[in-house]
Amino acid sequence: MKDKEGKSILSNVPSWVLALLTLTGATIVLFVVDGTMMPYFKTGNMAYDIFDLLIVVGCFFIARQNPKSFWYIPIICNAPFIVSAVVKPDIWNTLLWIPIVSGFGVSFLASIIGALVGKRDVSRNVV
């Protein structure tokens, strides 16, 4: 009988579901921060920076858990911004494209690093 100690509840959840949960949670935080904090701050990118930070951390941990899914996790997590960049092409005329592109690039890099860390951890645990 295998010991279930040390296993997370989310260890059996597919990576795409975790990516959707990350997107949902980060979007809720984006709207809350944007709605509550933006009247007090002049810069509008703080909410998007927090969103990007949550997405980057989520991509890292999801890819560390399942290294094979490193390539589609950032696409799912950044799907609203990818769709908005395609559907609304005038977004490139504003300064909003900077957090969109940098967030996607950093989240893709974080998922690659997470996959490398996950592969290393898996290879060390092989007996």
For 79-120, write each residue's pLDDT tens digit: 988 888 888 878 788 877 888 888 899 999 999 999 999 887
Query: pTM of the predicted model, to two decimals?
Result: 0.81
pLDDT at 70 over 50: yes
Asked whether 56 and 104 are in contact (CB, 8 A), the reply is no
Angle at 25 between CA 21 and CA 26, to 5 degrees: 115
pLDDT, position 34: 80
Domain boundaries, the chain: 14-125
What is the tens place of the pLDDT at every residue in 54-63?
Answer: 999 999 999 9
